[in-house]
Structure 1
Amino acid sequence: MKVLVLGGTGVISSQISQQLLDAGHEVTIFNRGSKSLPQAERYEWLVGSKSEPEAFRTLMSGRSFDVVIDMISFTEQDARLTVDTFRGSAVQLIFCSTGAAYKRPFRTTPVREDDELLFDDPGFPYAYEKAQMELYLNGLSQEDGPAVTIIRPSLTYGIGAANLGVLRQNYNIVHRIRNGLPLVMFGDGKLPWSFTFAPDLAKAFVGAVGNERTYGQAYHATSEENRIWDDLYLEFGRILGIEPNIVHLPTELLMKVDPGMFAHLHYEKSYAGLFDNSKAKRDIPNFQVTISLNEGLRMMLNWYESEGHTVDADKMRLEDRLAAIHADWSRTMGSFGAQ
């Protein structure tokens, strides 16, 4: 099939692009031209930006695709541009949404797609705008334009990712464990969570391509390994052979320190993140999540070290300050017990 990937070179979409090639599809990638991929000659490349709607429409004019996978729509307006541009020139549109688009608290645990409501609090714009995008897509007539499939990743890591850790401190995690420095965890670290890696998630997108069972449907696709948040740091420690020093701070306190950085913890990750993949397994052939947290973190560590990653000094200072707050707090609380 002829497949266009809008994005195509990001953490998730690069894996989608590669797996599409492996499955024998003819793949075109649209991006800003700042990133490429291995075996770049096997793709057709279109350079541009969706932030320039008229130029985007002009570039796509006269082209047709069996499937368009949109990894770069974050709002209803973004999705409208994709739908309007490919109405009449694509059979199926696959949109990347997010597990954050589910309203919290969940109605079901593990979460089942069709039993949940969508996020409705503008206080967390990322989740709210993705939910508004989905509401628009859900309102489209399947008879009037391409069929729509929605896939909702939960927190996903992979080569190129910059979202690993509570502070999204990435390589700093490795550095801090190796040097005996404390790592900040939100809450008590005991909430269950699904840590998913991009090569597994990509299987859901590729398996939905041209798959009529997925038309008009939404799916999440996540790890099913039974893990808690502390395991993110504990597993890194096992790989490195060093027990990490984890300190726990209330989410409310972290929000006061930096609402922009920690809003995702407050709105999304303060609830158990366990997802039922039954629907995806039913409709998407060969969808199976196989990468464990240990295997995935080894992949990340190899990438950090092969690419020569260095510490983020600003986040080092912030985590040091937060750890000092925890130490002061612990001393203060301890003094009450001594009285």
Structure 2
Amino acid sequence: MKVLFIGGTGLISQAVSRLAVERGIELYLLNRGQRNDNVPEGAHIITGDIRDTTAVAEALANYEFDSVVDWISFTPEEVKANIGLLKGKTAQYIFISSASAYQKPPTHYLITESTPLANPYWQYSRDKIACENLLMDEYRNDGFPITIVRPSFTYGDTMIPAGLNSWNHPWSLIDRMRSGQKIIVHGDGTSLWTMTHNSDFAKGIVGLIGHHQSIGHAFHITSDEVLNWNQIYRAIGAAAGVEPNIVHIATDFITAFSPESTGGLLGDKAVSAVFDNSKIKRFVPDFIATTPFHQGIKRTVQWFEARPEKCTIDQSWNDLMDRIVAANEAGAARAINDK
């Protein structure tokens, strides 16, 4: 198959790119060429910015693809432009959406692809929903060959996943754990969550590439392992060789101090997320997630330790964690005194 990835070198997509090449797919990556160290040997680079539609139309003029996977569109305007570029040039357009688009809070603990899409807490998720709606209209009205994929919290070597961490300096959480500082876990830490290694996610989506029966369908692709947040943070600590000094703080209290975390917490991680993967397994029978979180996160920590230059610390994030902890403790002390 001849396949185009729009993006293809990010946290999730780099693992998919590797597996696609390993399975003999003729893979092209359209991106700005800023992460060429994540390009697998054997993949072809088409340098360009997908937002520059005129230049990209020229770059793709002589290409047709069996499938295109769009990793980097986040708004309906971006998707609409891509439809204009790719209509008639691909037999399948796979849009990477987000499992955060599912109903928040959910009316049932088990999430299937028929769970309603509604997230009042996170604009990112509402934009993904709008993208899905646009694509489904294009499929129903004009036959545009879409497949929708909704990853949940998917991590890899370069990411230390948690409810609260610095996005740009993920080693900050490990450093904080190893120095004995207090680690905030939202709520009481007992809500359920699903962590998926990018190598496992790759198996599912590569199985959908070129799968014409998947056109018109939406899928989530996650691990079947379910953990609570206390278990997740303790697994991260174990990978780092320490017992984390966990302090539980109400999600509403956290978001009052850090409004930018509202979407990621109230709109995602504060709500239990258990996924029924029956549908992806019906379409891709050999899909199975085989990396338990305690193994995957140990590999991640080792990746960072082998690259000291990546072990950078976000002091502003550290300071924010300290302020939230101090304010929470002060509030608890006042409540005790008031009694």
Normalised TM-score (structure 1): 0.93
Give 2:337's aligned residue.
Answer: 335
Taking the aligned partners of 1:13 and 1:49, their CA distance within structure 2 comes to 17
Which stretch shifts more, 253-262 or 201-210? 253-262
Contact 1:14-1:37 at 8 Å conserved across structures: no
Aligned partner of residue 73 in structure 1, secondary structure: coil
Give 2:51's aligned residue.
Answer: 51
Which stretch shifts more, 129-138 or 161-170? 161-170
Which stretch shifts more, 318-327 or 179-188? 318-327
Give 2:176's aligned residue.
Answer: 176
Give 1:151's aligned residue.
Answer: 149
Aligned partner of residue 305 in structure 2, secondary structure: helix
User: Cα 1:284–1:143, aligned 2, differ >3 Å: closer, same or farther?
Assistant: farther
Letter in 2 for 1:212: H
Alignment of 1:257-336 (within 5 A): 257-308=257-308, 309-336=311-338
Using the TM superposition, give the Cα deviation of residue 304 of structure 1 relative to its aligned residue in structure 2, in angstroms: 1.6
Contact 2:180-2:244 at 8 Å conserved across structures: yes
Give 1:198's aligned residue.
Answer: 198
Taking the aligned partners of 2:64 and 2:118, their CA distance within structure 1 comes to 34
Contact 2:158-2:304 at 8 Å conserved across structures: no
Which stretch shifts more, 47-56 or 274-283? 47-56
Using the TM superposition, give the Cα deviation of residue 27 of structure 1 relative to its aligned residue in structure 2, in angstroms: 0.5
Contact 2:145-2:216 at 8 Å conserved across structures: yes
Give 2:5's aligned residue.
Answer: 5
Cα deviation 1:169-227 (Å, max 9, x = unaligned): 62122112211110011111110000111111111210101112211110001121120
Letter in 2 for 1:137: L
Any stretches of 5+ residues in structure 2 without a counterpart? none
Contact 2:104-2:119 at 8 Å conserved across structures: no
Aligned partner of residue 3 in structure 2, secondary structure: strand
Letter in 2 for 1:289: A
Letter in 2 for 1:264: G
Using the TM superposition, give the Cα deviation of residue 162 of structure 1 relative to its aligned residue in structure 2, in angstroms: 6.8
Using the TM superposition, give the Cα deviation of residue 38 of structure 1 relative to its aligned residue in structure 2, in angstroms: 5.5
Taking the aligned partners of 1:120 and 1:173, their CA distance within structure 2 comes to 28
Using the TM superposition, give the Cα deviation of residue 333 of structure 1 relative to its aligned residue in structure 2, in angstroms: 3.2
Using the TM superposition, give the Cα deviation of residue 112 of structure 1 relative to its aligned residue in structure 2, in angstroms: 0.9
Using the TM superposition, give the Cα deviation of residue 159 of structure 1 relative to its aligned residue in structure 2, in angstroms: 2.4
Letter in 2 for 1:131: I
Letter in 2 for 1:119: A
Aligned partner of residue 62 in structure 2, secondary structure: coil
Letter in 2 for 1:13: S
Q: CA RMSD in A?
A: 1.9
Taking the aligned partners of 2:272 and 2:16, their CA distance within structure 1 comes to 27
Give 2:116's aligned residue.
Answer: 117
Contact 2:184-2:249 at 8 Å conserved across structures: yes
Give 2:97's aligned residue.
Answer: 97
Letter in 2 for 1:67: S
User: Cα 1:141–1:316, aligned 2, differ >3 Å: closer, same or farther?
Assistant: closer
Taking the aligned partners of 2:304 and 2:315, their CA distance within structure 1 comes to 16
Aligned partner of residue 88 in structure 2, secondary structure: coil
Letter in 2 for 1:90: T
Aligned partner of residue 280 in structure 2, secondary structure: helix
Letter in 1 for 2:2: K
Total equivalences in the alignment: 335
Aligned partner of residue 152 in structure 1, secondary structure: strand
Identity %: 31
Contact 1:110-1:276 at 8 Å conserved across structures: yes
Give 1:140's aligned residue.
Answer: 138
Taking the aligned partners of 1:61 and 1:145, their CA distance within structure 2 comes to 22
Aligned partner of residue 230 in structure 1, secondary structure: helix
Taking the aligned partners of 2:265 and 2:10, their CA distance within structure 1 comes to 23
User: Cα 1:284–1:174, aligned 2, differ >3 Å: closer, same or farther?
Assistant: same
Contact 2:138-2:144 at 8 Å conserved across structures: no
User: Cα 1:333–1:243, aligned 2, differ >3 Å: closer, same or farther?
Assistant: farther
Letter in 2 for 1:325: A
Aligned partner of residue 165 in structure 2, secondary structure: coil
Cα deviation 1:82-108 (Å, max 9, x = unaligned): 222111111011110000111212243
Any stretches of 5+ residues in structure 1 without a counterpart? none
Give 1:29's aligned residue.
Answer: 29
Contact 2:239-2:301 at 8 Å conserved across structures: no
Contact 1:211-1:284 at 8 Å conserved across structures: no
Using the TM superposition, give the Cα deviation of residue 327 of structure 1 relative to its aligned residue in structure 2, in angstroms: 2.4
User: Cα 1:61–1:145, aligned 2, differ >3 Å: closer, same or farther?
Assistant: farther
Contact 1:6-1:70 at 8 Å conserved across structures: yes
Cα deviation 1:14-68 (Å, max 9, x = unaligned): 1111000011010100111111146655121111112222222222222111110
Letter in 1 for 2:117: L
Aligned partner of residue 147 in structure 2, secondary structure: strand
Aligned partner of residue 103 in structure 1, secondary structure: coil
Using the TM superposition, give the Cα deviation of residue 142 of structure 1 relative to its aligned residue in structure 2, in angstroms: 5.7
Taking the aligned partners of 2:214 and 2:335, their CA distance within structure 1 comes to 54
Give 1:234's aligned residue.
Answer: 234
Using the TM superposition, give the Cα deviation of residue 143 of structure 1 relative to its aligned residue in structure 2, in angstroms: 8.0
User: Cα 1:304–1:262, aligned 2, differ >3 Å: closer, same or farther?
Assistant: farther
Contact 2:175-2:313 at 8 Å conserved across structures: yes
Normalised TM-score (structure 2): 0.93
